[in-house]
Structures are given as C-alpha cells and as structure tokens.
C-alpha cells in the first residue's frame, strides 16, 4: 500500500499479510517478529497459529486480548530503526477493537510501544477506557507528554479506524489524526527530542509495563485486529496522513472499509478439541464467564445471558454475554448484550441481574450497574430491547435507561453491597428482590414493588438469615431467586427461595427454602428455618438464576459450573467455567423439592451403548468394558443387597490409576464423590472427597449421570444433585465400573453417547 513518498523515513512496517503462521514480517528490515499466542503450543488442545483475519489491505492479525502480542528484537531496532535524529516520530495503523480494557492503574492497552514512563523515555500508542486513545512520549528534557483523543473521537468496537500519531520536535508539536483528519494537538518546546527507551523491547499489542493479575495474566493488552502498522522517523504532514487514508478508501471503492462481525467475534473453534472443555454444556465462545442469568422466553426463543470478560479467561471488567436457543439445549452465541459505557450509570461493569417483561410484553433486563465514582457504587438499572423498532427476534441490541431505578439508601441493607436484582411481573405490577445483608444479622433479600417498572418502593426484607444460628449463610446474599412451586396436597401455595451466600464464613453454595409468600407485605415465611442444598458438590453448582417457562409452566434453574482450576491452567486453556445443565424444580407429593434435568436433553442422545436389567456386579462390569467415552448419559438403579456403599466409577483408566468414584453410603445417608484418584496431573486442583446428605427412605439408589469431558453431574432419586469437575491426565481415562463394598444388584443400566451442541 506504500508509494515512494510514503516510504521516505519509513523505519518499520508490518503489513500483516501472512494469513498464517506465528511470525509477522517487518517489511523494511525483512526480519520476522515473533507472535506470542497461547495456542502456538497447547497442552489440552491441538496447537494452532494466531488468528489471521481480513484486513483493510490484504490480511490482518487478530489479537485475542490476553495472550497475543508481538516482540520486535532490540538488535533489529538498533540496526534498523533507532533514528539518528530523534526529533520526529510518526505512527500510523488501522485498528478494529473487539472490546475495551478497564485501564487498571491508568495504563493504556498498548497498540505499539517502547517506553518507560518512570524514566520518562520512549513512546506509547494505545487505548483506554470506553474507546478513548492516547499517544504518549518521553522527552530528553525529562517531560512525559500525553495527548488524548477528545470526547466524540473514541475508537468504535467492531469497526475499522485509521489512527495516526505524530511527534515533531523541531516544530514543537504533537498531533493525533483519526480517519485522515486531525483531532488533537499540543505544543511542546521547539527543538524537543525523544528520550530513547534503552533496554526496552518494542511490543505490539502488549504494554511494556503491564499490570499482572493473579501472577499470570498481563493486563493492558490490545483486543481486536491490527493492519498496516507503519513507523516513521519523520513527522508526517496532514496531507500525507489524509492521502494514506484516502489510498485505502480508494481500494474499497471510495468507501471506508467495512468489517464483518464474524471476523472479529470471539471464536470457539480453537477450543472445540480441548479434551477438558464440555461439549454439550453451554459456554462462552472463549475466555471467562460467571453465572448465567436473566433467562427469558420471547418470540419462540429462550434467551440466557452470562457474566463475561471478553478480554481473557480471568475475572475482570464484566459484561453481559448472550445466548439464544429454541430448546434450552442447543444454544447460539450472540454479540455482547451489555457493556460498560462512558456514562454515569455503569462505566465500570454490568453485574448480574434478571429479565422480565414490560407493560407491552417486551423483554427488559434489570442489571447491577457498577460506578466506582459513585457512593454507593452499585445500583439497579434497566435496559430495553430494540425489538419494537427492528423486530429482531434474537434481541441483539439493548439500550440502557439513562438513570438508575433503585439506589440504595443508608440504613437499607449493608451499604455498598446491593446487587443482583431478581424482577418479576404479574397482573398487579412488578416486584424486585435485591441481594444484600444486615450488619450483625447476616444475608438478606430486600423487597421492592412498582406500578410502572420505573418507580420503586422499598417494602422491607423479604427474608433474612440468622447468622448466629447458621453462620455458613454468610453476611451477604447474592442472586436471590423466588419461584412459584404451586400448591401442596393441603392446598397451600408454595414458593421456592434460592440464595447464594458470600463474605466471611459463607459457604458459597445454592441454599433454598420452601415456604409461603405473603404478597401483601412482600415477605417469605419458610416451612423450615434451616436451609437446604440443591447440590451437594463443593462449589461447582453456584450462581443461581431462574424462570417460569411460559411454554410448559416448569420452573427452570440455571447455574454456573465452576472450573476448579489454577489461573495458570486457565491461561493455557483460554477458557474458564461454563454453565450447568438447566434443571426443573418442582414440589413433590411428599413436600420435598424435586430436581430433574430438563427432558429436552434427550435430544442430545446418540447411540445407545448399554441396556440391561437385574444383573450382577461382575456381569455388568464385563459388559461395561466396551464403553469408553467422556461424553455420556447414564441412568442406573442399584439395589444395595448386602452392600453399605454402592456407586459407579467414571473417567477410569483401564487399571484404575485415575478414576472418580460416585457413591452412596447407606450408613450415613450421604451422596459422595471421591476425587482422590481423579487426576495425576500435578497442576490440577481437583481432589478429595465431597458430598452431602440424601435421605432415600428405603428406595434403591437411582443415579442419572451426565459426563461431559471435565463436567460430572449426578442427579440422585430426583432429590439432590452432585456437580463436580474432573481433569484426568491420561487420554485413556474413559472407562466405567459399577462398584460396591458387597454384592449390589444392578436393577437397570442405560447408557447413551452424547452429542456436542456446537
């Protein structure tokens, strides 16, 4: 793309036209720069090169936001780039950001840099919060100069922008150009000189002085596509900048180059062959997720959102991811629904919330707006779908109501802990629960009501814990969920209240009570004071959300399945966490809570591998030797006979060096998972024995098990679940074995292969 005039003073040029491989040609010196990328070498999936995309001129390079960056060797810079005359520097580059960084410590997500701000040396071109950008230089007189893009000149996500930064020391000027036009300038002392950042690498896509998170992740990485990066040791004129921009437009028929969303979106393909990543559990395309939340049904589709960091597989700068499905099983990835924006509502994060309908029956989202400059820094906010304008059934676009709807007042809950609104609508209006706490008393679900969805009245605590009696319920509750269960045999109308305790001493699990809702006073009266657990695994079934399915009237609960891995392994893997399977909860005849995976999951069944009845332990295990898989659905009923402990070993190597035992103990009435032999991998955390109480009351043990690579979900007798994670080190950890400490009878056993939803 360069003509003769452009090449004058050109000291570095990356055209990014390779379209494959793990290096990029620097065109002036004809040397190759290494592209760092997590999957250049891969432990759990197939190695693959960095992701190349269509650029504005030939190819472009996609930077994943946490692992992709380029180093240009110092010796190459010294021999072919250090300007003899350090009085001028110009940088031009086409950028298409995928997402913005939060800007920890005021640092830029670097596009290109070789600097040391502490020593006031070198230069840095990069992005900051909400798309603002800056060019910063160190001068020999000891000054550090920063020139920032003015308001209205932010770099839009998912679009190409052409940016130029020009330092002219002789004239005493520093300038920024956007799409060929000057947008900012500042005066410097005439005769200024750049202070060279010796002993510092030239990096593209990574900040020379990035902040470290969890001792593994480097913040301030560029996320998006770069193309045509050029560095000059002279000051480009305004005419030259405009001509360079026009040259690209001319190659696109005179129009600004367009970018297809599919070229820049997070791509799940590199992760599909990860041997630990679940294939029929819902997950983001890549990177980090927290709890799925805000489920809603509209226009023939289910929508589910999730807490998401699009920059990498670590907890930071939370957005709302978005999936859509016709059956709650097969999901499609959609663009991010809510992101932090440059406003006074939620500039820092969009935390969890819920979905309901407005007065016209259109979906609305209630979310926790994070604004660190406000006090309190959390409030309840609203976003509306643009469906009434564009009739988009996927509900891709959401517009935030400009002001918070509920702002916590002092004396109402624990000040500053006020989040995760759960909102529902009935014929009389809208109702909201907000998670918080009461000092000295423990967690609380605060209740509000509204006649118009915009103006809310505080009604008092719906329900609160006694932290002295139940210290594991913690000082704060998150993610309160209230679902109607219908009437019991006595004709009483029952509700289910779910909470997730956090804070000092909290057991971070999903606790529940069955009870009665006093709608007049918006208070909840539990049938039993002591809370119960839905799942008896350890921190693998958390972050509850729920909905009443309008199609079937089922009460559906969604959760996050925590990953149970170190930050180092999450870095190597490129993903962290996934959703649990949707479950249906209902009131049983005996008054207990029934828990079952939704029936639609049967659509994932492939070949039936085994069907047998009334077999001995030995004969069953003989037939099981041929079943080797990490994606299965298993239904088994075991009659204990003379055994006191019975169960099944999953993800087992042929000689049992690695295995996970799922079993029931009749002496203690405990459903357990023994992970003491789950993995030989020294870096994995999964180990030990976990479980909890399950009263079978004379029934045989009936287990409904879903294996999905690292996911293990066990549903026992329709009463409890046990969710856990397994990361075997050996590729042959694929076997099954029925187990008992005596001679149980296998009353029935059915096993199906399961298919990926992706």
Per CATH, 288-540+582-599 and 601-754 having the same topology is answered no
Residues 50 and 68: beta-carbon distance below 8 Å: yes
63, β-bridge pairs: 224
pLDDT at 81 (0 to 100):
44
pLDDT at residue 77 greater than cutoff 80: no
* pLDDT tens by residue, 182-194: 999 999 999 999 9
Share of the chain above pLDDT 70, in %: 98
Starting from the edge strand earliest in sequence, which strands make up the sheet with 429-438, in order?
A: 419-426, 429-438, 442-450, 456-464
Measure the CA–CA gap between 560 and 428, rounded to whole angstroms. Answer: 32
Measure the CA–CA gap between 135 and 147, rounded to whole angstroms. Answer: 5
Measure the CA–CA gap between 65 and 215, rounded to whole angstroms. Answer: 17
Coil, helix or strand at residue 426: strand
Query: What is the arithmetic mean of pLDDT over 305-323?
Result: 98
Residues 202 and 14: beta-carbon distance below 8 Å: no
pLDDT at residue 79 greater than cutoff 60: no
Measure the CA–CA gap between 668 and 654, rounded to whole angstroms. Answer: 30
Q: Model confidence at 83, in pLDDT bands (50, 70, 90)?
A: very low
* pLDDT tens by residue, 349-365: 999 999 999 999 999 99
Query: What is the arithmetic mean of pLDDT over 310-328?
Result: 98
pLDDT at residue 6 greater than cutoff 80: no
Query: 3-class secondary structure for 485-524?
Result: EEECCCCCEEEEEEEEEECCCCCCCCEEEEEEEECCCCEE
Measure the CA–CA gap between 494 and 517, rounded to whole angstroms. Answer: 7
Query: What is the arithmetic mean of pLDDT over 579-599?
Result: 97
135, β-bridge pairs: 125, 147
743, β-bridge pairs: none
**CATH number of the domain located at residue range(s) 288-540+582-599 in this protein:** 2.115.10.20
pLDDT at 140 (0 to 100):
96
Measure the CA–CA gap between 672 and 721, rounded to whole angstroms. Answer: 10
605 CB contacts (<8 Å, ≥6 apart)? 633, 752, 753, 754, 755
* pLDDT tens by residue, 20-34: 999 999 999 999 999
Measure the CA–CA gap between 695 and 690, rounded to whole angstroms. Answer: 17
pLDDT at residue 74 greater than cutoff 80: no
Q: Which residue has the tokens 């000027």?
A: 173
- In sign, the C-alpha dihedral spanning 90, 91, 92, 96 is negative
Query: What is the arithmetic mean of pLDDT over 52-67?
Result: 98
Q: What is this structure's pTM?
A: 0.97
Q: How far is CA 239 from CA 72, 190, 253, 568, 729, in A?
A: 30, 22, 21, 48, 60
pLDDT at residue 5 greater than cutoff 90: no
583 CB contacts (<8 Å, ≥6 apart)? 534, 556, 557, 595, 596, 597, 598, 715, 721
Q: Model confidence at 465, in pLDDT bands (50, 70, 90)?
A: confident
Q: Model confidence at 375, in pLDDT bands (50, 70, 90)?
A: very high
DSSP 646-687: EEEEEEE-TTSSS-EEEEEETTTTEEEEE-TTS---TT----
Measure the CA–CA gap between 17 and 54, rounded to whole angstroms. Answer: 9
Measure the CA–CA gap between 259 and 226, rounded to whole angstroms. Answer: 12
Identify which of 510, 575, 546, 554 has the alpha carbon closest to the alpha carbon of residue 722. 510
pLDDT at 85 (0 to 100):
66
pLDDT at 1 (0 to 100):
45
Cβ neighbour number for residue 756 with a 10 Å cutoff: 12
Structure tokens at 178: 């956007």
Q: How far is CA 482 from CA 424, 544, 580, 598, 616, in A?
A: 9, 11, 19, 19, 45
Show the beta-strand stretches assigned E in 132-285: 133-138, 144-148, 161-168, 173-178, 181-187, 202-204, 212-213, 217-218, 223-232
Measure the CA–CA gap between 396 and 49, rounded to whole angstroms. Answer: 31
Measure the CA–CA gap between 46 and 330, rounded to whole angstroms. Answer: 25
> Average pLDDT over the chain, rounded to whole?
96
pLDDT at 199 (0 to 100):
85
Coil, helix or strand at residue 471: helix
Residues 735 and 628: beta-carbon distance below 8 Å: yes
Where b means 16+ CB within 10 Å and e means fewer, 191-211 reads ebbbbbbeebebbbbbbbbbe
Residues 412 and 427: beta-carbon distance below 8 Å: no
12-264: what CATH class?
Answer: mainly beta
33, β-bridge pairs: 24
Q: List the chain domain ranges.
A: 12-264, 288-540+582-599, 601-754
Structure tokens at 479: 């993610």
Query: 3-class secondary structure for 106-139?
Result: HCCEEEEEEEECCCCEEEEEEECHHHCEEEEEEE
pLDDT at 715 (0 to 100):
98
Measure the CA–CA gap between 340 and 370, rounded to whole angstroms. Answer: 8
Residues 248 and 1: beta-carbon distance below 8 Å: yes
* pLDDT tens by residue, 382-441: 999 999 999 999 999 999 999 999 999 999 999 999 999 999 999 999 999 999 999 989
CA 295 vs. chain centroid, Å, equals 16
Residues 603 and 327: beta-carbon distance below 8 Å: yes
* pLDDT tens by residue, 701-732: 999 999 999 999 999 999 999 999 999 999 99
Measure the CA–CA gap between 318 and 315, rounded to whole angstroms. Answer: 8
Where b means 16+ CB within 10 Å and e means fewer, 368-388 reads bbbbeebebebbbbbbbbebe
Cα-Cα-Cα-Cα torsion 185, 191, 194, 195, nearest 10 degrees, comes to -140
DSSP 8-state symbol, 36: E
Q: Model confidence at 80, in pLDDT bands (50, 70, 90)?
A: very low
Query: What is the arithmetic mean of pLDDT over 145-158?
Result: 98
Cβ neighbour number for residue 474 with a 10 Å cutoff: 24
Cβ neighbour number for residue 504 with a 10 Å cutoff: 9
DSSP 53-83: EE-SSSEEEEEESSS-EEEE-HHHHHHTTS-
Residues 525 and 518: beta-carbon distance below 8 Å: yes
* pLDDT tens by residue, 545-569: 999 999 999 999 999 999 999 999 9
Measure the CA–CA gap between 180 and 423, rounded to whole angstroms. Answer: 48
Query: What is the arithmetic mean of pLDDT over 649-662?
Result: 98
pLDDT at residue 248 greater than cutoff 70: yes
* pLDDT tens by residue, 481-538: 999 999 999 999 999 999 999 999 999 999 999 999 999 999 999 999 999 999 999 9
Measure the CA–CA gap between 741 and 758, rounded to whole angstroms. Answer: 40
Residues 149 and 176: beta-carbon distance below 8 Å: yes
DSSP 8-state symbol, 600: G
Cβ neighbour number for residue 616 with a 10 Å cutoff: 14
601-754: what CATH class?
Answer: mainly beta
pLDDT at 73 (0 to 100):
83
């Amino acid at each position: 793309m360069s003509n003769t005039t452009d090449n004058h003073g050109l000291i570095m040029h990356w055209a990014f036209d390779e379209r494959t491989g793990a290096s990029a040609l620097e065109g002036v010196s004809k040397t190759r720069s290494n592209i760092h990328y997590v999957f250049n070498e891969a432990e759990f999936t197939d190695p693959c090169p960095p992701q190349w995309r269509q650029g504005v001129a030939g190819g472009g390079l996609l930077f994943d936001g946490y692992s992709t960056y380029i180093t240009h060797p110092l010796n190459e810079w010294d021999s072919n780039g250090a300007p003899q005359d350090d009085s001028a520097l110009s940088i031009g580059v086409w950028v298409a950001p995928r997402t913005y960084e939060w800007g920890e410590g005021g640092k830029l997500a670097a596009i290109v840099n070789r600097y040391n701000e502490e020593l006031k040396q070198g230069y840095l071109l990069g992005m900051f919060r909400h798309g603002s950008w800056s060019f910063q230089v160190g001068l020999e007189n000891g000054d550090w100069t920063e020139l920032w893009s003015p308001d209205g000149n932010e770099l839009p996500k998912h679009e190409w922008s052409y940016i130029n930064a020009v330092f002219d020391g002789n004239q005493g000027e520093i300038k920024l150009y956007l799409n060929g036009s000057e947008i900012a300038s500042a005066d410097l002392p005439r005769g200024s000189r750049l202070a060279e950042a010796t002993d510092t690498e030239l990096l593209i896509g990574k900040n020379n002085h990035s902040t470290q998170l969890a001792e593994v992740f480097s913040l301030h990485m560029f996320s998006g596509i770069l193309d045509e990066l050029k560095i000059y040791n002279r000051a480009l004129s305004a005419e030259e900048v405009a001509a360079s921009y026009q040259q690209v437009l001319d190659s696109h028929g005179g129009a600004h180059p367009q970018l297809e969303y599919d070229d820049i979106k997070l791509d799940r393909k590199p992760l599909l062959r990860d041997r630990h990543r679940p294939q029929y559990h819902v997950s983001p395309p890549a990177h980090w997720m927290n709890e799925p939340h805000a489920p809603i049904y509209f226009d023939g589709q289910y929508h589910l959102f999730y807490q998401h960091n699009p920059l990498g597989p670590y907890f930071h700068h939370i957005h709302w991811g978005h999936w859509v499905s016709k059956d709650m099983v097969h999901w499609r990835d959609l663009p991010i629904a809510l992101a932090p924006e440059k406003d006074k509502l939620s500039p820092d994060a969009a935390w969890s919330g819920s979905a309901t309908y407005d007065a016209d029956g259109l979906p609305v989202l209630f979310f926790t707006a994070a604004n660190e400059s406000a006090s309190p820094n959390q409030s309840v906010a609203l976003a509306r779908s643009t469906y009434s304008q564009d009739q988009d059934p996927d509900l891709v676009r959401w517009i935030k109501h400009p002001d918070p709807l509920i702002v916590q007042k002092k004396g109402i809950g624990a000040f500053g802990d006020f989040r995760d609104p759960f909102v529902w609508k009935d014929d009389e209006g809208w109702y909201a629960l907000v998670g918080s706490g009461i000092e000295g008393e423990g967690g609380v679900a605060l209740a509000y009501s509204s006649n118009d969805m915009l103006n809310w009245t505080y009604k008092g605590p719906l329900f609160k814990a006694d932290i002295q009696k139940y210290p594991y319920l913690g000082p704060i509750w998150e993610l309160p969920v209230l679902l109607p269960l219908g009437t019991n045999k006595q004709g009483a109308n029952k509700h289910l209240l779910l909470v997730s305790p956090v804070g000092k001493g909290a057991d971070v699990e999903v606790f529940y009570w069955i009870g009665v809702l006093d709608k007049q006073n918006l208070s909840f009266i539990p049938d039993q004071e002591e809370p119960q657990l839905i799942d008896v695994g350890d921190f693998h079934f958390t972050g509850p959300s729920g909905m009443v399915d309008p199609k079937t009237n089922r009460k559906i609960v969604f959760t996050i399945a925590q990953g149970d891995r170190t930050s180092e392994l999450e870095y190597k893997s490129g993903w962290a966490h996934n959703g649990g399977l949707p479950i249906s909860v209902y009131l049983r005849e005996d008054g207990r809570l029934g828990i079952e995976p939704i029936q639609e999951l049967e659509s994932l069944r492939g070949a039936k591998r085994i069907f047998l009845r009334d077999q001995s332990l030995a004969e069953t295990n003989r037939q099981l030797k041929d079943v080797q898989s990490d994606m299965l659905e298993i239904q088994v009923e075991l009659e204990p006979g003379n055994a006191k402990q019975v169960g099944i070993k999953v993800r087992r190597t042929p000689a049992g060096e690695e295995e996970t035992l799922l079993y029931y103990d009749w002496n203690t009435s405990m459903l357990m998972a023994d992970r003491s032999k789950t993995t030989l991998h020294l870096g994995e955390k999964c180990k030990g024995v976990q479980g909890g109480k399950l009263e079978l009351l004379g029934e045989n043990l009936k287990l409904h098990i879903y294996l999905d690579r690292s996911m293990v979900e066990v549903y026992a007798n329709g009463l409890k679940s046990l969710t856990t994670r397994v990361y075997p080190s050996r590729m042959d950890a694929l076997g099954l074995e029925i187990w008992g400490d005596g001679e149980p009878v296998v009353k029935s056993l059915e096993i199906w292969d399961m298919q990926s939803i992706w």
